Structure 1
Amino acid sequence: MAEQPVPDYPRSNPTESVAPVGARLDLPEAGEWKRVSPKYVMVEIVGTVVFLLIVCAAAGALWLLLDQVWAAWAGGLIALITLVSLAFEPRRVRSIGYQLRADDLLFRRGIMYQRFVSVPYGRMQLVDITRGPVARLLGLADLKFVTAAASSGVAIPGLAEADADALRDRLVELAESRRAGL
């Protein structure tokens, strides 16, 4: 049987170039990334340490009270993984950023698995500020937006309270003006 030739599908723009597989998405034309507060590292570390203490207490109770040796091994393994993740917390926090662009807010986070989310201003339905106990002590807040798509909820953590309030007001203003144009 003769080999069939592979069809050449037309492109919308024949001169368009495609980024190579594995190329980094930096979006240099988009502008400067705004970062979250460096104090947010402390919020993440406190949360991780609380998790570590709970896991160690549960594993220790199972081991000592119920003589479950496997619980000590499992607790030790979880503690080791948690301590290694603590070393990456500062880098993970530095990877969080956002940009206010002409038509949307662009959000990114992640080291190995980078996540980029673009939220059009006209699609924002709710802009909310939350403050956890540790974040409140450090003067930080999280800004959350909800759109019609349930999977596109975005939260920018670790903003200074004044910045979160100003950004919320700006986003509400932009969302109202974009929705009016629909």
Structure 2
Amino acid sequence: MSEPSVAPGPFDPPGVPWQPVSPRLTTARLVSAALTLVVPLAAGVVLAVLTEVTWLWALPAAVLAVGVWVVVVVPRQVRALGYAERDDDLLVRRGVLFRSIVVVPYGRMQFVDVQAGPLDRKLGIAKVQLHTASPTSDAVIPGLPPEEASRLRDRLAARGEAQLAGL
């Protein structure tokens, strides 16, 4: 599938080469959602069967509806994720319906984390998180292959040090 079309404007600066995240992030998010929804689904079914109250079948039906919504929305959300390294800053964009773009100047970065939970490691992805002095300007790039996450961490740390040294 192709990258979702992005309307020109504040969310698509001209000349910015966006890097997509791994499509394996879709699998990770769908597995997490399935694990989250299986307990309420099972509880709703058991409750409806044991009580024999017909309207209680609305509970598992609602959980299934949420599951279908997640299956439809998550792949689009993952395709909308991207990042771009520019000379002075890092751009991170996300969102389909509610879009956002975060611009983090390299000189404002305090440190860079690479994280991967058990499911992430199994799927071969990691998350890079940039920390700044302001908690509202932190940026997260999930779904990167571990090699790319490591390369990005080292590159961002080096660029951050170079920007601070230039002050």
TM-score bracket for this pair, using the shorter chain length? 0.7 to 0.9
Residue pair 2:30, 2:70 contacting (<8 A) in 1 also: no
Residue pair 1:98, 1:105 contacting (<8 A) in 2 also: yes
Q: Which ranges in structure 2 are unaligned for 5 or more consecutive residues?
A: 1-6
The CA deviation string for residues 34-67 of structure 1, in whole angstroms up to 9 with x for no partner, is 0111222111111111111122134345555688
Which residue, 4, 13, 20 being the options, matches 1:27? 13
Which residue, 48, 58, 62 being the options, matches 2:33? 48
**Which has the bigger relative contact order, CA under 8 A and spacing at least 6?**
2
Q: Corresponding residue for 1:108? A: 93
Which residue, 135, 146, 158 being the options, matches 2:143? 158
1:170 is displaced (CA, Å) by 0.3
Residue pair 2:112, 2:157 contacting (<8 A) in 1 also: yes
Aligned partner letter, 1:27: P
TM-score between both structures, scaled by the size of structure 2:
0.84
More helix by share: 2
Distance in 2 between the 1:150 and 1:70 partners? 45
RMSD over aligned CA atoms reads: 2.2
Query: How many residue pairs are counted as aligned between the two chains?
Result: 160
Distance 1:72 1:140, change over 3 A: same
User: Aligned runs of 1:80-119 on 2, under 5 Å?
Assistant: 80-119=65-104
Distance 1:67 1:106, change over 3 A: same
Distance in 2 between the 1:104 and 1:66 partners? 59
Distance in 2 between the 1:35 and 1:105 partners? 14
TM-score between both structures, scaled by the size of structure 1:
0.78
Identity of aligned residues (%): 38
Q: Which ranges in structure 1 are unaligned for 5 or more consecutive residues?
A: 1-21
Distance 1:64 1:168, change over 3 A: same
Distance in 2 between the 1:177 and 1:66 partners? 67
1:144 is displaced (CA, Å) by 0.7
After superposing on structure 2, the runs of 4+ consecutive aligned residues of structure 1 that deviate more than 2 Å are 22-25, 57-76
